[in-house]
Amino acid sequence: DAEITQSPRHKITETGRQVTLACHQTWNHNNMFWYRQDLGHGLRLIHYSYGVQDTNKGEVSDGYSVSRSNTEDLPLTLESAASSQTSVYFCASSESSGDPQETQYFGPGTRLLVL
Amino acid sequence: EDQVTQSPEALRLQEGESSSLNCSYTVSGLRGLFWYRQDPGKGPEFLFTLYSAGEEKEKERLKATLTKKESFLHITAPKPEDSATYLCAVQAPQGGSEKLVFGKGTKLTVNP
């Protein structure tokens, strides 16, 4: 079955280190998204992509970057991890058929702790 | 600024006790309203999409409705397995993007 996976599921790192979180989907969806989820906040959009070589900043993009070299993957990189980036990160994807209301489907999440 | 407010923040029900969750929104030109269910330690699971005022959708014990300013998720005769956090999200025109704005969720607990 088609799915969306994230790795690692749990990660502990130190302040200042570069961290990359992986997201892989087998639905062949054009659109991919990265969110973070924190207590007291709803899911907040970090970056998103509408296709290969396309990336866009979301609501909380500072300190994060993404690249899209193929349809299946959208890795999220924390250039220099900060304690404020301790969070649960979710990747999502949606089909792009010209209908703007396409549903986003979410991965299982990565829990990141920055010490 | 587009906003989504969910209430209550938490709700405890006894098994079989029906109730409703609320999602109010302030967006210009709603394109779609989405309901998700999220279990602890897991990603949000899609439930419904509503597109226009007056629309209703049902799935098992859940029914979602939409007005011009809010949506309700009605839970009829809930069971303990319905315990989860329910998330609401709206999509509005933003230069053709598909960005969603999420509420903070309602944590539902159903006691046996």
SS3 B84: strand
Nearest CB to A48; choose among B44, B91, B99: B99
Which residues lie closer than 8 Å to A70 by C-beta, 6 or more apart? Answer: A52
pLDDT tens, position by position, B6-16: 999 999 999 99
Give helix then strand counts, H and E, for chain B: 0, 11
Q: Is the predicted pLDDT of residue A103 greater than 90, yes or no? A: no
Work out the minimum CA distance from A52 to partner chain B, whole angstroms: 16
pLDDT tens, position by position, B42-87: 999 999 999 899 999 999 999 999 998 999 999 999 999 999 999 9
Distance, first Cα to last Cα, chain A: 37
**Banded pLDDT at A88 (limits 50, 70, 90):** very high
pLDDT tens, position by position, A37-63: 998 888 999 999 999 999 999 989 999
Residue A45, strand partner residues: A35
pLDDT tens, position by position, A57-83: 998 999 999 999 999 999 999 999 999
Nearest to B27 by CA among B77, B69, B75, B74: B69
On average, the pLDDT of chain A sits at 92
Q: Do B100 and A58 touch (CB under 8 A)?
A: no
Other C-beta atoms closer than 10 Å to the C-beta of B26 total 13
